[in-house]
């Protein structure tokens, strides 16, 4: 089984998350995408993150109708801060050694991977799918010196090369770089729009929009 893992606070989930998940699912021929909402993310300020039950319910609404999208609550059920290495190990335990996992993250977040818990193990043992983000470039990944990535191929992706670039990392792990349009939607922007009374229609599924309005989330 080939399983993608998309983690985040999903505060709230939006159409950008769903487009990314669908693109990765298709390009890497995965069997499913696990959406893993974080309870206490280590790299984000806890302030402004709404109750996890609201975030979970919005995820359920957003994923409805797509049998290849699945919710995983393992980080919510875990005590303390959520770390990627712990999530990957727990997911391996649940699905068994026959499954292959692909952790999905933005190029902006992956640039800081050396600060992640047990970074050397992550780089050595696991697959990462890195997707573009506005104002960031794949050639910036050359800064992660331990990976020794090919500069020409990275620049080609930035310049519009199509398809999927697969590169080796330090051990058995593989790095997959997707040349898909960067999604210029952020949960923070949606929250700010709601708090300032601006429209936020079409940035997230209609079911999620109605849920936010009904429950008066983010100062709505």
| Alpha-carbon span 56 to 14, nearest angstrom | 13
**pLDDT tens digits along 42-68:** 665 556 789 999 999 999 999 998 999
25 Cβ neighbours under 8 A, 6+ residues apart: 4, 32, 33, 68
Q: Which helix (H) or strand (E) holds 124?
A: helix 119-125
Alpha carbon 203 to chain centroid, angstroms = 17
Asked if pLDDT for residue 160 goes beyond 60, the answer is yes
SS3 198: coil
Q: Tell me what pLDDT residue 36 has.
A: 96
Residue 181 vs residues 16, 148, 150: alpha-carbon distances, Å: 11, 25, 22
Please give the domain boundaries of the chain with CATH numbers for all domains: 2-184 (3.40.50.620)
Q: What percent of the chain shows pLDDT beyond 90?
A: 75
Strands (DSSP E) found in the chain: 2-8, 32-37, 69-71, 100-106, 127-131, 164-168, 174-178
| Alpha-carbon span 55 to 65, nearest angstrom | 18
| Alpha-carbon span 92 to 8, nearest angstrom | 19
Q: How confident is the model at residue 39 (pLDDT cuts 50, 70, 90)?
A: confident
Q: Tell me what pLDDT residue 45 has.
A: 58
- Our CA dihedral for 213, 183, 19, 53, rounded to 10 degrees, sits at -40
**pTM of the entire predicted model:** 0.93
């Amino acid at each position: 089984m080939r399983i993608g893992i998309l983690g985040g606070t999903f505060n709230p989930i939006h159409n950008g998350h769903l487009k990314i998940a669908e693109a990765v699912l298709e390009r890497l021929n995965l069997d499913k995408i696990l959406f893993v909402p974080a309870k206490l993310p280590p790299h984000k300020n806890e302030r402004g993150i709404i109750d996890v039950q609201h975030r979970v319910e919005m995820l359920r609404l957003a994923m409805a109708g797509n049998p290849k999208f699945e919710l995983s609550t393992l980080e919510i059920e875990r005590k303390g801060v959520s770390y990627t290495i712990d999530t990957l190990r727990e997911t391996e335990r649940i699905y068994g050694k026959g499954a292959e996992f692909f952790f999905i993250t933005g190029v902006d977040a992956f640039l800081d991977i050396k600060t992640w818990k047990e970074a050397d193990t992550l780089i050595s043992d696991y697959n990462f799918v890195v997707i573009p983000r506005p104002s960031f470039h794949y050639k910036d990944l050359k800064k992660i010196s331990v990976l020794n990535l090919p500069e020409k191929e990275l620049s080609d992706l930035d310049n519009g090369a199509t398809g999927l670039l697969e590169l080796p990392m330090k051990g058995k792990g593989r790095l997959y770089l997707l040349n898909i349009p960067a999604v210029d939607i952020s949960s923070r922007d949606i929250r700010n729009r709601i708090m300032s009374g601006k429209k936020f229609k079409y940035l997230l599924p209609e079911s999620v929009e109605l849920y936010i309005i009904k429950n008066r989330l983010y100062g709505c």
